[in-house]
Structure 1
Amino acid sequence: MLLAGDAWSARFETFRQEAWRLETLPQYLMPQEAEDFAAFSDGTRIDPRTVSNEYTERLRRQVTEGRSQGRVHIVTRPLSEYLRFEFSQYYHPHSIAGEEIRILDVTDRHNPLEGVPDFWIFDNSEVVLMNYHPDGRQINREVHEGDIAPFIQYRQTAIAESVPFAEYVKGLDA
């Protein structure tokens, strides 16, 4: 089953305990980000402490409700321009709002999750595959119909092998 629109958005309102994502690409070409990405590339920066939008407000609400949202992004250095943008414009304010963001840098090491696709897992009961072209253009979101046990293990590996976002960016010019 493919997910879009309200069916996709509902996943973030209805999960009971945890929503978690694995990101594997150096860039995501999302049309709604094009203007902000261009501004970032031209030198515009935001103060992550002042960001308040629908996403950050939802994160704050989830924290007060005892629900968590997290992710691990697999990266290599040097960071792509998109990753620098994502760290600055999204990860900083989202982590302040309560998202548990971690980074798995595989620049000088074996990637323990080589070949694993991007995915979301909700409450250890549903996996949604995030399908992309190699250049980061999204193809679709697809509910995984098989065994979710491997995805739970992927999440455990990603968390164990990664570091918190704030620790990773210390000293980076992100």
Structure 2
Amino acid sequence: MTDRGKQVSRVHVLTSPLTDYLRYELAAYPGDITAGETIGILDKAEQDVTGLPDHDFWLFDDRDVYRMHYAPEGAFTGAELLPAHRLAEYRGYRDRALAEAVPFADYWERHH
């Protein structure tokens, strides 16, 4: 997508110590970064993370916000398009997360 002028950014909020599954997941991020994605990490064990929702969300083209839903065991069950009046709220969450996140390479160097 970045080759078409799109910006792709992600902030992964997690809590260390990292589980084997998280290490597996994070090990794939360098390929995403090479493809043009910007990835940051917010580790709740290392940073005081406040003012963010307790769920995953995606913003598309800065105009559509989707809340992600998961089953209790963690399986993805679907996405819910939120009403347009919630967009400013979620832009604020995005901006806060991006401002507070540690660049992935810095985090990974310390934790793998």
User: Which TM-score tier does this pair reach, normalised by the shorter chain?
Assistant: 0.7 to 0.9
> Which residue matches 1:172?
111
The answer on whether the counterparts of 1:102 and 1:159 sit within 8 Å (CA) in structure 2 is yes
| Cross-structure match for 1:37 | none
Query: Identical aligned pairs, as a percentage?
Result: 37
Gaps of 5+ in 2: none
Q: Is the 8 A contact 1:101 1:164 kept in 2?
A: yes
Aligned pair partner of 1:150 in 79, 89, 95: 89
1:161 to 1:134, Cα distance in 2 relative to 1, 3 A: farther
**C-alpha separation in 2, matches of 1:109 and 1:65:** 34
- Report the counterpart of residue 137 of structure 1 in structure 2: 75
Superposed displacement of residue 124, structure 1: 1.5
Q: Is 1:102 matched with 2:40?
A: yes
- What CA distance in whole angstroms lies between the structure 2 residues aligned with 1:152 and 1:114? 11
1:42-99 per-residue CA deviation (whole Å, 9 max, x = no partner) reads xxxxxxxxxxxxxxxxxxxx222221111000011111221101111x2121111111
Larger radius of gyration: 1
The one of the two structures with greater contact order (alpha-carbon pairs below 8 A, sep at least 6) is: 1
Q: Which has the higher strand share?
A: 2
* 2:17 equivalent in structure 1: 78
CA RMSD of aligned residues (A): 1.6
**3-state SS of the aligned residue for 1:147?**
helix
| Deviation of the 1:113 alpha carbon | 4.2
3-state DSSP of counterpart to 1:131:
strand
| Count of matched residue pairs | 111
TM (norm. structure 1) is: 0.59
The 1-side partners of 2:61 and 2:35 are apart by 20
Gaps of 5+ in 1: 1-61
Structure 1 residue runs of 4+, over 6 Å off?
none
Conservation of the 8 A alpha-carbon contact between 1:126 and 1:148: yes
Matched, 1:127 2:65: yes
